[in-house]
A = this chain, B = another copy of it.
């Protein structure tokens, strides 16, 4: 029972991700802030729907697993707005590494390694699977903001160049999605939702 008890402790701890709120708004639920658990569900499904646009072979099952776990570290480290400054990003990275060790460490040894490795692969964004997973994590807020009059971009005066940089994983990997993203960014500037800089 010891192994099962460890797994149940981890499963219970996961509940806390439902209380970590992001900058994105849920338009269909009175424009409240979105939490990282429901966001993880949404991008895992987005990956399943869009993976055929990748021009290299993507293992969609690995990508879904990555996306289901990618924000668990926020239980300890909290969510940081994507367009924060570099110093804040570096500090967040340290917090997240410690969080991964503590949280995945609740699991039995073998699962700890599997989850920790998968999370590190996602963070490094060097493999095709990780790049595609990152791209999904970034295209969805764009889709949400475009349906919500600029959403978090407009509220935080985000620049066009920042959104382009953030979505660049798509450029070589899924040209059709990249082309869609570029069109949407231009439209956002035209609508005054992104700063033209």
Contacts and interface: CB of A to CB of B under 8 A. Distances in A.
Interface of A: 1, 4, 7-8, 10-12, 14-19, 26-30, 34-35, 37-38, 40-42, 44-46, 48-50, 53, 61, 64-65, 68-69, 107, 111, 140, 143-144, 147, 176-177, 180
16 contacts: A1-B180, A11-B140, A11-B143, A12-B147, A14-B42, A15-B27, A15-B28, A16-B28, A18-B28, A18-B29, A18-B34, A37-B38, A41-B44, A41-B68, A44-B64, A49-B111
Interface centre among A17, A19, A34, A49 (most CB of B within 10 A): A49
Contacts of A41: 17, 37-38, 40-41, 44, 68
A44 B44 contact: yes
A182 B59 CA distance: 38
A115 B19 CA distance: 29
A28 B37 CA distance: 12
B14 A19 contact: no
Contacts of A176: 4
Nearest to A108: B49
Nearest to A47: B68
Contacts of A177: 4
